[in-house]
Copies of this chain bind each other. A is one copy, B any other.
Amino acid sequence: MARPETPVNIDEKLAKVTDHWSPKTVLEVNGLEFKAVKVQGDFVWHNHPEGDELFLVVRGELTIDVRDRPSAVVKAGEMFVVPRGVYHKPYAAQECEILVMDPPGVVNTGEVTGELTAEEEWI
């Protein structure tokens, strides 16, 4: 899918997301992809050697455990970057709606393939 030529409404995209931990690509910019994601509960420890990962919390609160660094509690209206190759584990006690930005082809579970691993898909 090409880059949209009209504005992308973040809430409209998030409303189309049905499954937890299943990122859906909504925008491409400078060779990076924004994805709409709903999360709840615990994810797996993983890392992305391809690049930094940006988290932008739209609704709710996301805790990100980061190896060898303090955990981050990211609230609605906040952004947080996990640097390239740094192991991390997101967690949300309640459902949380976020955008992530990654290089194309990044797998949500990084090097850990399992039942939480999602296929790339545009919405």
Contact = CB atoms under 8 A, between A and B. Distances in A.
Interface of A: 3-11, 26-30, 32, 34, 51-52, 54, 69-70, 72-75, 77-81, 83-84, 101, 103
16 contacts: A3-B81, A5-B70, A6-B70, A6-B72, A6-B80, A7-B72, A7-B73, A7-B79, A7-B80, A27-B54, A29-B52, A29-B101, A30-B101, A30-B103, A32-B32, A34-B79
Copies of this chain present: 2
B6 A29 contact: no
Nearest to A69: B5
Nearest to A79: B8
A69 B6 CA distance: 10
